[in-house]
Structure 1
Amino acid sequence: MIRKKKDKCSNLQQRLSIWERCSNIRTLKQIHGFMMVSGFNSNPSALRELIFTCAISISGAMDYANQLFKQITEPDRFMWNTMLRGSAQSSNPSNAISLYTQMEERHVRPDNFTFPFLLKACTKLSWVKMGNEVHGKIVKFGFESNTFVRNTLINFHSNCGDLTVARALFDGSPKRDVVAWSALTAGYARRGDLGMARQLFDESPIKDLVSWNVMITGYVKCGDMENARKLFDEVPERDVVTWNTMIAGYVRCGSCDKAMEMFEEMRCAGERPDEVTMLSLLSACADSGALDVGQKVHSSISEMGFGSSKIVLENAVIDMYAKCGSIENALEVFRRMREKDVSSWNSMIGGLAFHGHAEETINLFTEMRREKIRPNEITFVAVLVACSHGGMVEEGHQYFNLLRNEYGIEPNIKHYGCMVDLLGRAGLLNEAFRFIEAMEIEPNAIVWRTLLGACRTHGNVELGKQANERLLSMRRDQSGDYVLLSNIYASMGEWDGVEKVRKLMDDSGVKKDPGCSLIEADNKELMNFLFESKPNLRLKYNVI
């Protein structure tokens, strides 16, 4: 009897050990094959472990889980719930709704675990109507008083449903439940009601790290970095999310120096940055043109590794170098990459194109096609920009046609805008006008503004007037639109036309923004001397 118990314990430990060691799809398939050969394929306990490992434990195995699940003739409720959970947290959460429909058709009764997974899927998809229907079913089955279900309901209604309903559910819940407090606080913060969010936060009897992060994020999204920093300094403990929120907030507000200072604080505090941290910092360097800082961030990424996120980070490094004007460094990173995706190619092709390297852009695009990497709409925007900067009209037409004919991509407004810019720069204004007239989508103000700018460059008054009329039919409050037409008249010496444009501006109530020059000077003593000796300079220059 004792030996039998020992044998059972030993078998259980072996089975648990097998599933713990299963960390990828290849191993999973080997275990599944062993189950089939050994006759465990019909064992309910083994099937539960198999489905759980597929749907929950191994990233990217959800498709295999769906295939396995379809082969099980009578899955029990645990298996259904596991599949619902896996689907809700996958990249296709709508599958959870389909699964629940099948569950109902097969008369499998849901339990208190079933509906939270459905609500999480609805929240992720922002499916308000479906979420309300799920709420109705929860009431029907009598699960609304269940703490787990009620908290998920509060989270759903706080995120995308009815905040009034969320508040009513919250008021009927135990006031010591920190999950309910956090969910409702987050709801008010996301809807922009920071006053109510802060009131709930202050009144909360228990504040976990999620609550602090929710409130800090609320301030950051509203651009209130002062209050965000105050809370950050008060938080009892911080995780990588807390640090990342502050860093991203400073980047968004354009305070790139503070973002870098926060990064240094983060490292000194012993918190390991993740890929989100590094992406925020690279964005800050790209926006501010801080090449020297960007190089340091790049070095940190190389030291830390980051494994599966490396491609995403390397793409961001290429983008950073390109935006900082260091095409050589961008190319060096690109050529050293062991694996590249379409974003890698787009980052490099875009960097070359926007710096005017037309021939190199086309060569790299040709290499991309030779490597059988399928370009997307972003790729073609960069290629058309290169053609525009290089005056390559014939090639531009060829690539525009290639977009649809070979790759089945419908041109969007950016592709059309690039073609108008290409034709306009080349002085083919009538062809550009006909191209706009033949567009299969409605041209926007930017397209007409592009043509108007080309008319200004080439001194075409008549076509400029037509473009301006189309532009003013869409918007009448942009002073630059009027100024462009006025400049066209002035360049041709038609001063009556200039006067008409000025009168039109006055009648429309549009004021031209005063022009100014910008000087960035490190030697502030020199600038102060200039201002003291020539006080009128203060009216002319805005000094950083």
Structure 2
Amino acid sequence: MIRKKKGSTITITNIGTLKQIHALMIVNGFNSNVGFLRQLIFNAAMSMVGPSATTALTNYALQMFAQIPQPDTFMWNTFIRGSSQSPNPMHAISLYTQMDHLSVKPDNFTFPFVLKACTNLFWVRTGSAVHARVLRSGFGSNVFVRNTLLVFHAKCGDLKVATELFDDSDKGDVVAWSALIAGYARRGELGVARKMFDEMPNKDLVSWNVMITGYAKHGEMGSARELFDEAPTRDVVSWNAVIAGYVSCGLNRQALELFDEMCNVGEFPDEVTMLSLLSACADLGDLGNGEKVHAKIVEMSKGKLSTLLANAVVDMYAKCGSIKKALGVFWLIRDKDVASWNSVIGGLAFHGHAEESLGLFREMQRTKVCPNEITFVGVLVACSHAGKVDEGNHYFHLMRSKYKIEPNVRHCGCVVDMLGRAGLLKEAFDFIASKKIEHDAFVWKILLGACKIHGNVELAKQSIEQLLRMRKGQSGDYVLLSSLYASQGEWDGAERVRKLMEDSGVTKNRGSSVVEAYS
């Protein structure tokens, strides 16, 4: 028998627990008891939400629901709700469609959950069809339904419709104001959003965060920080918006300084905060602060890092050049995904540990994790640095033949670099022509660099001709060819390039350097 105290809930965190509870209900004859079924459905649906949700758990929960002979509207709504908040909201749309086919009438709770799924999926046509059904069913005046419609249209639907819904709403409804402000801000109409925000009669924390986030996501960090400082109250979302904004704008030091301020005022960071900070440290190559952030993460999570956070730690250590620490964290990740492998394979490759990088790729191939285009960039870089031309060519063809990945310009650039480093300049030139990437300056710049290393003036001329045809104002291209002539003692050629550069009005950028001072 299953017993539970009044007001308590059963927490299901794995498929074994769900199967055990389901089996106990069947054995004890409760599988036809509506009260127990509702409780089971609620807990199964909630198991589809949050970090503990897995594909196996979700699939079993859906199969279990499908076995119920005549689920009532509450059960349908409960499962649609759980599905809409799961990693795969498409299940909510599927359940809604099944509900319709079985002639079970949706109610004012059904539509908001379905619309939330449409919003998360950015399914505009489906959401618009649901909107039409809402009107036909007579729920258009329901505040909860109308606000969810407003959020849907503001985020991914028709902003004009969202405005009309807002005009029909209660002007004291903070949710409606925030939804429309967010819609304008998300689409870059920050002036309109700010005007609405200033006119808003009652601002809550959500509305402040919406406007701060809008500024931050569009790189207007001065306005974002000004509003952040003016906010009467702040929560972790407020801090995260500005920290993430600083990082996306390359203002990584400001992000780290704001985090220190966040800690000083007693605000607790979350996973989103730490992901931004790890990105800041990785971009700066700041190992010292990276180690401090990692220590804070371990303290917060009590050593149980999510795969997403662990991947970010690995990436940070790899980009800061601490390969040993990157590998140490990598091997502790229980559920390694493709991003986990990419971080170490790429990190090892870019820091010259080619053999170890290729060894890890071979280890990855023995797992169930399928490599992607990013994986092969790391693999090809490793082959290039190790001078493994045959192996690099093998992997280049393998990505298409076995993994159905079409090479992009980065993969082609890696092959050109690999051939160029090995002195196979004619092969690199022919490769560019054969892959029809002649119009990408990136690969020609790589070939030009290889020509300088190996002193091939003739191919360098052809490369520079291609580059100048695509980007005439780049002084570096002229300087590189001039240096090549000079390195071969062809001073007349070097002078001609300098003259051509002057005649074209191209000026060489002044050199500069950055020195960080620590107090």
**TM-score range relative to shorter protein:** 0.7 to 0.9
Note the residue ranges of structure 1 that are not aligned, 5 or more in a row.
1-10, 525-544
For the pair 1:345 / 2:335, whether they are aligned, the reply is no
- Map 1:208-357 → 2, pairs under 5 A: 208-305=204-301, 309-335=305-331, 340-357=336-353
**1:537 is matched with which residue?**
none
User: Aligned with 2:107: secondary structure?
Assistant: coil
Mapped contact 2:243–2:276 kept (Cα < 8 A): yes
Mapped contact 1:487–1:498 kept (Cα < 8 A): no
**1:195 is matched with which residue?**
191
**1:534 is matched with which residue?**
none
User: Aligned with 2:4: secondary structure?
Assistant: helix
The structural deviation recorded for 1:245 is 1.5
For the pair 1:43 / 2:33, whether they are aligned, the reply is yes
**1:542 is matched with which residue?**
none
Residue 173 of structure 2: which of 174, 177, 202 is its match?
Answer: 177
- Map 1:140-539 → 2, pairs under 5 A: 140-305=136-301, 309-335=305-331, 340-369=336-365, 374-439=370-435, 444-471=440-467, 476=472, 478-485=474-481, 487-488=483-484, 493=490, 495=492, 499=496, 503=500, 511-518=506-513, 520=515, 522=517
* Residues 333/115 of structure 1: CA separation in 2 closer, same or farther (3 Å cut): closer
* Residues 147/505 of structure 1: CA separation in 2 closer, same or farther (3 Å cut): farther
**2:98 is matched with which residue?**
102
Mapped contact 2:380–2:411 kept (Cα < 8 A): yes
* Residues 126/333 of structure 1: CA separation in 2 closer, same or farther (3 Å cut): closer
Mapped contact 1:275–1:306 kept (Cα < 8 A): no
User: Aligned with 1:254: secondary structure?
Assistant: coil
For the pair 1:73 / 2:76, whether they are aligned, the reply is no
Mapped contact 2:127–2:152 kept (Cα < 8 A): yes
User: Aligned with 2:513: secondary structure?
Assistant: strand
The structural deviation recorded for 1:327 is 2.7
Percent identical across equivalent pairs?
60
**1:26 is matched with which residue?**
16
For the pair 1:85 / 2:89, whether they are aligned, the reply is no
* Residues 232/398 of structure 1: CA separation in 2 closer, same or farther (3 Å cut): same
Distance across 1 between alignment mates of 2:245 and 2:259: 12
Task: Please tell me the residue identity of whatever aligns with 2:71.
Answer: P
Between Structure 1 and Structure 2, how many residues are aligned? 512
User: Aligned with 1:42: secondary structure?
Assistant: coil
* Residues 505/383 of structure 1: CA separation in 2 closer, same or farther (3 Å cut): farther
CA offset digits 1:153-173 (Å, max 9, x no partner): 111111122222211111110
Residue 42 of structure 2: which of 52, 61, 65 is its match?
Answer: 52
Distance across 1 between alignment mates of 2:367 and 2:131: 51
The structural deviation recorded for 1:34 is 1.3
Distance across 2 between alignment mates of 1:134 and 1:338: 41
User: Aligned with 1:69: secondary structure?
Assistant: helix
Distance across 1 between alignment mates of 2:391 and 2:406: 19
Mapped contact 1:275–1:309 kept (Cα < 8 A): no
More helix by share: 1
* Residues 513/66 of structure 1: CA separation in 2 closer, same or farther (3 Å cut): farther
Distance across 1 between alignment mates of 2:503 and 2:163: 51
Deviates most, 268-277 or 308-317: 308-317
* Residues 188/371 of structure 1: CA separation in 2 closer, same or farther (3 Å cut): closer
**1:116 is matched with which residue?**
112
Task: Please tell me the residue identity of whatever aligns with 1:515.
Answer: R
Deviates most, 295-304 or 406-415: 406-415
User: Aligned with 1:215: secondary structure?
Assistant: helix
* Residues 200/373 of structure 1: CA separation in 2 closer, same or farther (3 Å cut): closer
Task: Please tell me the residue identity of whatever aligns with 1:439.
Answer: K
Mapped contact 2:243–2:273 kept (Cα < 8 A): yes
User: Aligned with 2:321: secondary structure?
Assistant: coil
Residue 4 of structure 2: which of 3, 14, 23 is its match?
Answer: 14
Note the residue ranges of structure 2 that are not aligned, 5 or more in a row.
none
CA RMSD in angstroms, aligned pairs only: 3.1
So what's the TM-score if we normalise by structure 1? Answer: 0.84
* Residues 197/516 of structure 1: CA separation in 2 closer, same or farther (3 Å cut): same
So what's the TM-score if we normalise by structure 2? Answer: 0.88
Distance across 2 between alignment mates of 1:98 and 1:370: 35
* Residues 474/118 of structure 1: CA separation in 2 closer, same or farther (3 Å cut): farther
Task: Please tell me the residue identity of whatever aligns with 2:391.
Answer: E
Task: Please tell me the residue identity of whatever aligns with 2:297.
Answer: I
* Residues 152/335 of structure 1: CA separation in 2 closer, same or farther (3 Å cut): closer
Task: Please tell me the residue identity of whatever aligns with 2:144.
Answer: F
Task: Please tell me the residue identity of whatever aligns with 2:239.
Answer: W
User: Aligned with 2:10: secondary structure?
Assistant: helix
* Residues 142/397 of structure 1: CA separation in 2 closer, same or farther (3 Å cut): same
CA offset digits 1:228-247 (Å, max 9, x no partner): 22322232322211121222
Task: Please tell me the residue identity of whatever aligns with 2:506.
Answer: K
The structural deviation recorded for 1:58 is 4.7
